[in-house]
Amino acid sequence: MDSYSATIIDAVEKVKTAVVKIEIFNNTNKKEQLSGTGSGFLFSSDGYLFTNSHVVHNSTNIKVKLHDGACRQATLIGEDPDTDLAILKISDADFTPVKLGDADQLRIGQLVIAIGNPLGFHHTVTAGVVSALGRMLESQNGRMMDSMIQTDAALNPGNSGGPLINADGEVIGVNTAAIRGAQGLCFAININTAKEIASQLIRFGKVKRAYLGIVMQQIELVPKLRAMHALPNKQALFISDVATGSPAEKAGILSGDIIHSFNNRMIETSDNLFKQLTEDKIGQFHFIGILRSNLKKEFRITPVQRN
């Protein structure tokens, strides 16, 4: 067997029993009818699993079909439409979960594998590469999701919520969308973002986040700019839009600015910034480091509670 095939087979073997099919039922004329399907994966031995918010939104009857065909009733622990993530819980068994990786270690061109249930075909495997990192994508509620992983591993309806794994069988993304009418333009939610969201959904049932009012895209910093300002960053966040009336606009931040730090902590990815924007930051002023027209500036910004 060739090494490429062996790598994929070994990676899939490590996670396949943790990948599940999500089934949504509605009661019509007192009969239970299947109204939608998706994918998910177990990340804890006591039955917590990831899926997409758009798979389970407004659903009251959710069932999970395991790899061996067994079916479990699921409880929706919480969902976050802004990142298209949801956490479900099933019980009555000791599960073997996936291993969660580190998306910050991903490189463009790296092998990735998607597993899910596209168009009802149970446990389908596709493979491709990381096509790009730090992409932005509009969520179901119209807000922009950043730090997305772009891949050409084929995704179809029903793949939503399934894992994107690396060659070691570690989950590095939650599959969420394909661009209709295009080929090889598929996206997954960065697993580092998903970890942070899961922590809040399990604790609070919702996500409490401080809001700045900016749309960002991860970029590489050119060596000349890094050397000019003695920055440790290799990457930073390019601001492509500033919301009207937002804390960012009030602070004087503009589209085209580049964020390199928050409260003197280096910021290279949106996940770095998200970890800083905790509930305790709301209503308090903080310092945000900006590069503007090759000049290094610092602004005071006061995050607000996101509605």
146 carries an active-site annotation? no
160 carries an active-site annotation? yes
Instruction: Determine the residue type at 294.
Output: N
Question: Which member of 54, 80, 139, 261 is catalytic?
Answer: 54
102 carries an active-site annotation? no
Q: How far apart are CA 273 and CA 280, in angstroms?
A: 14
Question: Which member of 147, 160, 261, 270 is catalytic?
Answer: 160
Question: Which member of 80, 84, 146, 271 is catalytic?
Answer: 84
Which pair of structure tokens corresponds to residue 56? 């389970």
Helix (H) or strand (E) holding 286: strand 286-292
Q: Which of 192, 194, 158 lies closest to 177 in space, CA to CA?
A: 158
What's the first-to-final CA gap in the chain, in angstroms?
Answer: 54
Cβ neighbours of 1 (radius 10 Å): 6
Cβ neighbours of 112 (radius 10 Å): 25
Give the three-class secondary structure for 39: strand
Q: List residues with catalytic annotation.
A: 54, 84, 160
